Structure 1
């Protein structure tokens, strides 16, 4: 068993950490109720107001979500948790709705999302279990041997996997229980293959683990570059997605969760990359001091992000996996999503006007980018009103150079940028600029040093 794992993800403590990841922990109850794809230029599809999906989350650490969607012909369940015991807790919450389950959908083949499928089938024998052709194949082949590993580490994991009894071709629409879902399959990212389900009538996107919410992900498979490319493709495929329902963490605005996931992956790669550079202290190996620095910086940048598994050394093992990935990459052939070069930022118009005005030294245009009663919070110092903002900018901003490194977050009326600001035109420091926008004007700008 350990020999197989070492072939898959490396040697040393990585084997133990992968077993811990797959097994998870003893999970307790946690039921709670949370709050058409189109081509660019075509009219926005109407979105209806429907009851939000129900959600059950097993306990942290290693919490996993299952959702149930109210459909005309019953409930549609998405993913089945890690173990039958977890699934039975979710089933208890689902039964309280008084509505029968009409179907179960699987997003991907990882053990923590399919281990409870047998319990759902036992509880709702008339409800078909759906998976895309690629997910079904990944489950049946289990090329990485994840299911035996999960079973050996956690006796609660089922002795036999329950496979889908209904499959559909990757990327084809799915009509289930009176609802229409658009689907898309993405390979070589967080998992070898993953399927997302999108409701064009509500803008709900069930993305599995592709865009999680404020958790520490597992990067042990070493596909962070593929994951970044998938996040870009996901946004292009479903530009009208309103709310993402992730496999781990709370639901949230679709663009926000994707941006947060991208920010985490980019930040992680940016921190690991210099540690495996040819001139680093340990060469291609991450030295203990470098590992400590990376772990500290990630904790500072993403505080309160619980791990997706009961594994105290998850970040350290992620460092090893991404280090192996980065040393194998050819920087000259990297796709734009994975490059360490700054990406071209798609800025909201008032934000773009501000950046352009700073770099042109145009005080009038800079002031005009703000609403009359706008507020700037400059590292805790508040500047209120357009006249005060003009005086502040004339003294502290004009003459400087502002470079947008990346858009860290975008959602309606809000954009957060990672920038480099050089007050004298050269050198400078990293900062996060968060803008609140209404119409054609900035109503608030919050400036803070980057960690």
Structure 2
């Protein structure tokens, strides 16, 4: 769509020039880009993120890594900014996110550590015994966990470092309680482990249904969120990471459910053969995804936990959000990634949605291979706004959409996007005008 795109951009520039000659509002001026949060990810396996956000009064940090040793590596990077640390925020009580809190507090003693009332309570009670377990598994985990020295009511806004964060606390999902932090001025959402980026999550608490319901609530609570900064894995478009997390949970529940059905070989017990089949299928669907914990058998432990959960569920009372089947009208994973990447301006995510030898047919023009598709997207797609108007055709491995594409985020035109997908990748995308 190169020629039409250029005509639209030229027309847009002409309108802007006319508007400025008449005395344009300052709101029409391009806004200075907001600085992206800094990020330190500890090594795999079990990589964890900590973030630092530039604020008027210094830096605001989010989460503190698994161990003091990891924390000190992040601290060295943070100190390179030359800025003071104004505050430290905790998303939830899991050991891999709070184990380094003491080291951070020692390095930045003037920066208070903040946690929601629910997170603070979960840390102090540790009713699942996660902290002694973490110490037994990893001698580097601290002998004593450093708690927050400032708490705030669950769901209340938080003013730190000269920035305002909206917060929301969710219970009985990935963890017993979790708090997310949202910046309305930038659309940045720090989600902890609720929506993670291309990693193998831990489901050992056996609450996948609660987690699925939280993902629905998360999207509704922060509909304007643009980018999720997760506790594990790379940041990405909000809708993409939420949808990917949802599909992962639906997939493993859908594979485990037949294995615990009354008419299965061992009833509610998952046999070694069934576990191997489920593990193989999860690895095929989600290849090469590092685990969020240093646990070689994390997929097998996830299967056991989901099996216990499903065995106790009453199908008649299972919430609709916990259905194993993708919802009608939803996009296949790679197509959803493409749409989210366009809106999030994420060139890496967009290119990564395509298979290495994929093809894009853009109104008859053929772009072959991931590298060429990336160059095409950088030149003609990123910076635009893509809205799915209707799913016109939907069958296994193929979906045809009616969309509206707005170059530069305004104006635009209607088009048909047809995606052929194979597993996690788009193998072919055909783009044609709708009129």
- Which string of whole-angstrom CA distances, capped at 9 and with x for unpartnered residues, describes residues 29-56 of structure 1? xxxxxxxxxxxxxxxxx99731000000
Native 8 Å contact 1:414 1:435 kept in 2: no
Q: SS state of the match for residue 196, structure 2?
A: coil
**How much does 1:443 deviate?**
4.3
Q: SS state of the match for residue 233, structure 2?
A: coil
- Which string of whole-angstrom CA distances, capped at 9 and with x for unpartnered residues, describes residues 236-287 of structure 1? 0000000000000000101110011001111111111111111222221112
Q: 1:267 aligns with which of 233, 244, 251?
A: 251
Q: 2:161 aligns with which of 177, 183, 188?
A: 177
**How much does 1:304 deviate?**
1.7
Q: Are residue 98 (structure 1) and residue 82 (structure 2) matched?
A: yes
Structure 1 Cα separation of the partners of residues 228 and 385 of structure 2: 15
Q: Are residue 88 (structure 1) and residue 72 (structure 2) matched?
A: yes
- Which string of whole-angstrom CA distances, capped at 9 and with x for unpartnered residues, describes residues 218-240 of structure 1? 11110000000000000000000
What residue is the counterpart of 1:441 in the other structure?
414
Cα distance change on mapping 1:340 and 1:85 into 2, 3 Å: closer
Q: How does 1:7-406 map to 2 (within 5 A)?
A: 49-340=33-324, 343-345=327-329
What residue is the counterpart of 1:28 in the other structure?
none
Question: Which aligned runs of 4 or more in structure 1 are off by greater than 4 angstroms?
Answer: 379-386, 414-417
| TM-score of the pair, normalised by structure 1 | 0.72
Native 8 Å contact 1:413 1:436 kept in 2: no
- Which string of whole-angstrom CA distances, capped at 9 and with x for unpartnered residues, describes residues 358-411 of structure 1? xxxxxxxxxxxxxxxxxxx9x97987759xxxxxxxxxxxxxxxxxxxxxxxx9
Native 8 Å contact 1:336 1:343 kept in 2: no
**How much does 1:206 deviate?**
0.3
Alignment RMSD, CA only?
2.8
Q: How does 1:402-421 map to 2 (within 5 A)?
A: 413=386, 421=395
Structure 2 Cα separation of the partners of residues 382 and 98 of structure 1: 45
Q: SS state of the match for residue 170, structure 1?
A: coil
**How much does 1:414 deviate?**
7.0
Structure 1 Cα separation of the partners of residues 259 and 253 of structure 2: 10
- Which string of whole-angstrom CA distances, capped at 9 and with x for unpartnered residues, describes residues 398-434 of structure 1? xxxxxxxxxxxxx9627799x973xxxxxxxx33537
Structure 2 Cα separation of the partners of residues 332 and 48 of structure 1: 53
**How much does 1:83 deviate?**
0.5
**Structure 1 gap ranges (5+):** 1-45, 352-376, 387-410, 422-429
**Structure 2 gap ranges (5+):** 1-29, 336-354, 365-383, 406-412, 425-435
Q: SS state of the match for residue 183, structure 1?
A: strand
Cα distance change on mapping 1:173 and 1:284 into 2, 3 Å: same
**How much does 1:163 deviate?**
0.7
Structure 2 Cα separation of the partners of residues 242 and 211 of structure 1: 13
Cα distance change on mapping 1:240 and 1:447 into 2, 3 Å: same
| TM-score of the pair, normalised by structure 2 | 0.74
Native 8 Å contact 1:47 1:203 kept in 2: no
Structure 2 Cα separation of the partners of residues 62 and 120 of structure 1: 20
**How much does 1:444 deviate?**
3.0
Q: 1:431 aligns with which of 390, 394, 397?
A: 397
Structure 2 Cα separation of the partners of residues 267 and 245 of structure 1: 23
Q: SS state of the match for residue 413, structure 1?
A: strand
**How much does 1:341 deviate?**
5.5
Cα distance change on mapping 1:166 and 1:260 into 2, 3 Å: same
Structure 2 Cα separation of the partners of residues 111 and 436 of structure 1: 45
Native 8 Å contact 2:251 2:324 kept in 1: no
Native 8 Å contact 1:47 1:201 kept in 2: no
Q: SS state of the match for residue 246, structure 2?
A: helix
